[in-house]
Amino acid sequence: MTKPPVGSNRTGRKLGQKVKKGKLKASSRRWLERHINDPYVQRAKLEGYRARAAFKLLEIDEKHQILKGARRIIDLGAAPGSWSQIAAKVTDSSDGDARVAAIDFLEMAPLPGVKILQLDFLDDDAPRQLKEAIGGTPDVVLSDMAAPTTGHHRTDHLRTMHLCEVAAHFAIEVLGEGGHFLAKTFQGGTEKELLDLLKKNFKQVIHVKPGASRSESVEMFLLAKHFKGRRAMSAEEHEEDVAEGEYQDDGRD
Ligand SMILES: C[S@@+](CC[C@H](N)C(=O)[O-])C[C@H]1O[C@@H](n2cnc3c(N)ncnc32)[C@H](O)[C@@H]1O
């Protein structure tokens, strides 16, 4: 079970440490203090994960079972790679039979069983390259992408929401029937249009906030479970269009 770490110190480092006043700006010092005293950071180190973000995915999976039985997983915004580490483990991926494709515009150190693309996911060619890298139908599309912050809150928010939206369209394009999509979003930030799209394509759509996600952060995750499949959707859309009078049968078979 993914238990929240307590204020203990299995890494041998004390919690509650202060950073000496020196050349650092007060805000950087506060960040550093929070980082070194964060029990999830210490636990990530102890368990060999590249980032504390690992515990967000593990916690969500523990509750919602999205990784069990997954054969192929795509990880969007993957650096430094803790979600890819988990994905490689659950898919039993190896370099000879890679079952995880990861993308990030930042450089990411190699991971066994993970095909890494150093590329902007918004690049026109990214979807094609990801499909080629995964080499089969993925069961899960993960996105922990967050746009680099500009300091302008509204702009940052809109950019991350845009990434979430593009990731959702990509998931609908590539997932196998019954597959799952998990993406980072913001509290109150998910557009109705995106929610409607997901509800139309997945059997269950929920927002989740794992304990490892800092409470002061507006970060949330959008989880869409059990993809209905593209064929099912086109039949459903066809019926809706007929009902709405948008579809015109030209009378030919
Ligand atoms: C929170 S980090 C991901 C942490 C990762 N899940 C882990 O467990 O190590 C978000 C990542 O999204 C990446 N990112 C943001 N926008 C992106 C884009 N347009 N294309 C590719 N990667 C992007 C950032 O470079 C950053 O590395």
What digits encode the pLDDT tens for the residues 69-85?
999 999 999 999 999 99
55 and 35 part of one domain? no
91 alpha-carbon distance from chain centroid:
16
Name the residue among 189, 93, 185, 87 with its Cα closest to residue 141: 87
What does the alpha-carbon distance between residue 143 and residue 56 come to, in Å, rounded to a whole number? 12
31 and 126 both lie in a single domain = no
**Which among 146, 134, 137 has a CA at the least distance from the CA of 79?**
146
- Residue 7 is assigned to a structural domain of this protein: no
Confidence of residue 181 (pLDDT cuts 50, 70, 90): very high
Same domain assignment for residues 88 and 25: no
Tell whether 38 and 58 lie within a shared domain.
no
Total domains present in the chain:
2
User: Would the pLDDT of 216 be above 80?
Assistant: no
Instruction: Identify whether residues 167 and 69 lie together within a single domain.
Output: yes
In a domain, 1, yes or no: no
Strand order of the sheet with strand 73-76? Answer: 114-118, 100-104, 73-76, 140-143, 180-186, 219-227, 202-208
55 and 108 both lie in a single domain: yes
Q: How confident is the model at residue 248 (pLDDT cuts 50, 70, 90)?
A: very low
The alpha carbon of 7 and the centre of ligand 1 are apart by a number of angstroms equal to 28
Phi-psi label, residue 94: left if phi above 0, alpha if psi -120 to 50, beta otherwise: beta
Q: Do 43 and 56 belong together in one domain? A: no
The answer to whether residues 43 and 78 belong to one domain is no
Domain assignment present for residue 244? The answer is no
**Spatial separation of the C-alpha atoms in residues 205 and 182, rounded to whole Å:** 10
Separation CA 153–CA 155 (nearest Å): 6
DSSP structure class, residue 72: -
This prediction's pTM: 0.84
Tens digits of per-residue pLDDT, 87-100? 999 999 999 999 99
Task: For residue 250, tell me if it sits in a domain.
Answer: no
Is residue 5 included in any domain, yes or no? no
Residue 175 has pLDDT above 60, yes or no: yes
Residue range(s) defining the domain that contains residue 34: 17-47
Confidence label for 21 from pLDDT (cuts 50, 70 and 90): low
Q: Average pLDDT, stretch 151-169?
A: 91
CA distances from 213 to 56, 179, 202, 208, 253 (A): 6, 24, 25, 10, 54
81 is in an annotated binding site: yes
Establish if 197 belongs to a structural domain.
Answer: yes
Distance CA 63, CA 55 (A): 12
Pocket probe mutation, ligand 1, options 50, 73, 104, max atoms within 8 Å of Cβ: 104
Give yes or no for residue 5 CB within 6 A of ligand 1: no
Residue 35: pLDDT over 80: no
- When pLDDT is averaged across residues 160-181 and rounded to a whole number, the result is 97
Same-domain status, 194 and 230? yes
Q: Which of 105, 114, 218 to mutate to test the pocket of ligand 1 (most atoms within 8 A of CB)?
A: 105
Query: Is there a single domain that holds both residue 38 and residue 68?
Result: no
* pLDDT surpassing 50 at residue 174: yes
Q: Are residues 41 and 136 in the same domain?
A: no
- CB count in 10 Å sphere of residue 246: 10
Are β-strands 202-208 and 73-76 bridged in parallel, bridged antiparallel, or unpaired?
A: unpaired
Residue 202 lies in a domain: yes
**Coil, strand or helix at 252:** coil
Residue 5 pLDDT greater than 70, yes or no: no
Mean pLDDT, the chain, whole residue set: 86
Residues 42 and 57 grouped into a single domain: no
Assess whether the C-beta atom of 218 lies below 6 angstroms from ligand 1: no
pLDDT at 245: 46
